[in-house]
Structure 1
């Protein structure tokens, strides 16, 4: 396949659980709800594709798979799976799932930071208190963090939805219980992220589409960002729509309509398993090839990082083989498309990425 051996930039992922897991603990991470299961497309993919990396036959039954995982231990299992992805650059959302140093210890390639806006704001508010109206402190802290980051991310879809109020003016006060959910504060925070992103050349990532049970899915449709995208079209900010399913066609339209909008399919790919080629085809119906990026959105289980890569390679490879066979695309153009989505588009969009001296 054209996708075999292509180096990947995983432009959005998370850390892994640094502990051995029993079956309930493992299966909880095999789904976005309260209960995951091997009895799913994702579970089948783990048994088919991850098992051989752990020296098992394909389709090993769950108990045998977990026994082998325990025999190897979490560190060896994680190292094998992450290093089998073919990823050479990882952009890690450090606001959920651990930091760069822990991840770099078990992964090949360069690990860079994506700063999660809500996590940073909550840290600042916890330190200075809500009585101080800490908006200047948040901006100062964010400006300090982005100097060593490659991008920003917001989970405003979880907190109040993507139809958040747009404002450059902070509200009169902020409330924080367990987490930040006030729409006015979140709207100001996202606007701040967009402005600082434009200033420093950092893309702003948005969670869109499906997620865990904290999310109201109808509020995570990227079409709700249309006014925001109009307002930021000439700001120098690149917007990246993450995951997108079941709104991947909506996201593709937005990338078609707005030059500064990009998208990936993220955790959609491992979760849909064998249907990855179909979802990729639906997205590429309208999305410009230069707008598409690769990510796994792997979290918790290194199996998710690995499956993101292997199923993306298989899905896109099968789709392009079909296009070549039907004379829709030349082999040369297909190869260029693969390289762009795998790595080239990310290298162009994440302009602040710089390799460390160890990777120069």
Structure 2
């Protein structure tokens, strides 16, 4: 094992964007639904286990549950049920070696762990506030259209004032996409849009109110996480290209850090934005556990073709199953180690620089952006 791999294996990762895990035992349909961004297709003969991520689960998670590598799905799920979800979480989360979790608490269609429950005694936990959830809660409580902007701002300020909150997040990529007017909407425009939205109800997907949400995030002053690229079928992928944000990023230059999450297949566009804007950062997030350790180095190599090394962060975007917290960490460690060691061996990078990149991308870049303690 080379020095780069040793350094990565020893590093307590900072997972700057993830979610909780389900607090229940899972049957096969429930488990399969959580290891795909698509849907289960009963009767089709297609199983998420027969995919790169399903193979990676059986290869890298099975031994931690006391099984042989590549155990068949039936054996894997039977062993998982035998151990129970608490023991599965203990083993897999412990093996991930994550020292800090930044947890998006705004998405929970299942009963999942809180940030503190996810971290347990082995790690520190912080919260990321999803602003669409705040806006929808304001609407659900009842508000007059002309009072929506002030009510949303007050609710957002209250949410980010909670202990442990380090960032806000938007899922504008899902709701409208990024081909938005980059300018801040006026009060009258917001009021008219709020009247339309409140009358029809449902999710916050009005382009004017989404713009207002993004500009409110700027006013809040915390780092802003933006989902970009790969996601479930609710997404229209062509609208989630972060390059569509270029004009808006010009408008907000010098204000807040913007963290582009996941990015694949637009990780090269995200790398460009992180190269030309001081306030833009990126990760490749859930792409790593979906391609698995076997291809993680290829995705990371593309993300790092031009990205300044202080601009790439680690995240898993794991949700629901602890397997994804483990696979994200394993894929990042193995993929980055292979990439950097190859460059060291080719004398394109010295070992000292490689070891700095390990620490920066795996932990310190997140600490610098979110400003939590270096000892957490």
Matches within 5 A, 1:63-82: 63-82=74-93
Q: From 93, 97, 102, give the equivalent of 1:91.
A: 102
- C-alpha distance in 1, partners of 2:343/2:134? 45
**Cα distance, 1:131 vs structure 2:** 4.5
Q: Which residue of 2 aligns with 1:188?
A: 212
- C-alpha distance in 2, partners of 1:245/1:296? 13
Instruction: Point out the more displaced range, 144-153 or 129-138.
Output: 129-138
Q: Which residue of 2 aligns with 1:246?
A: 265
For residues 239-295 of structure 1, the C-alpha deviation after alignment (integer angstroms, 9 at most, x for no partner) is 000000000001001001111100001100000111110010011001110000000
Query: Which of structure 1's runs of 4+ aligned residues deviate more than 6 A?
Result: none
Q: Which residue of 2 aligns with 1:10?
A: 15
Q: Which residue of 1 aligns with 2:127?
A: 113
**Cα distance, 1:141 vs structure 2:** 1.4
Unmatched 5+ stretches in structure 1: none
- C-alpha distance in 2, partners of 1:99/1:188? 31
Q: From 24, 30, 43, give the equivalent of 2:29.
A: 24
**Cα distance, 1:163 vs structure 2:** 1.7
**Cα distance, 1:106 vs structure 2:** 4.8
Q: Which residue of 2 aligns with 1:153?
A: 169
Q: Is residue 52 from structure 1 mapped to residue 53 from structure 2 by the alignment?
A: no
**Partner SS state of residue 259, structure 2:** strand
Q: From 120, 123, 138, give the equivalent of 2:137.
A: 123
**Partner SS state of residue 229, structure 1:** helix
Q: Is residue 286 from structure 1 mapped to residue 306 from structure 2 by the alignment?
A: yes
Unmatched 5+ stretches in structure 2: 41-46
Give yes or no for contact 2:272–2:306 (8 Å, CA) kept in 1: yes
**Partner SS state of residue 9, structure 2:** coil
Aligned residues: CA RMSD:
1.6
Give yes or no for contact 2:115–2:127 (8 Å, CA) kept in 1: no
**Cα distance, 1:183 vs structure 2:** 0.6
- C-alpha distance in 2, partners of 1:65/1:186? 43
**Cα distance, 1:100 vs structure 2:** 3.0
Q: Which residue of 2 aligns with 1:222?
A: 242
Matches within 5 A, 1:294-333: 294-333=314-353
For residues 301-345 of structure 1, the C-alpha deviation after alignment (integer angstroms, 9 at most, x for no partner) is 110111000111000001111111100111111000000001100
- C-alpha distance in 2, partners of 1:105/1:239? 25
Number of residues of Structure 1 aligned to a counterpart in Structure 2: 351
- C-alpha distance in 1, partners of 2:113/2:152? 20
Give yes or no for contact 1:30–1:42 (8 Å, CA) kept in 2: yes
Give yes or no for contact 2:119–2:125 (8 Å, CA) kept in 1: no
Q: Is residue 263 from structure 1 mapped to residue 277 from structure 2 by the alignment?
A: no
For residues 10-33 of structure 1, the C-alpha deviation after alignment (integer angstroms, 9 at most, x for no partner) is 000001111111111111111111
For residues 198-245 of structure 1, the C-alpha deviation after alignment (integer angstroms, 9 at most, x for no partner) is xxxx2101000010111000000000010111111122x000000000
**Cα distance, 1:103 vs structure 2:** 3.1
Q: Which residue of 2 aligns with 1:336?
A: 356
Instruction: Point out the more displaced range, 283-292 or 2-11.
Output: 2-11
Q: Is residue 275 from structure 1 mapped to residue 291 from structure 2 by the alignment?
A: no
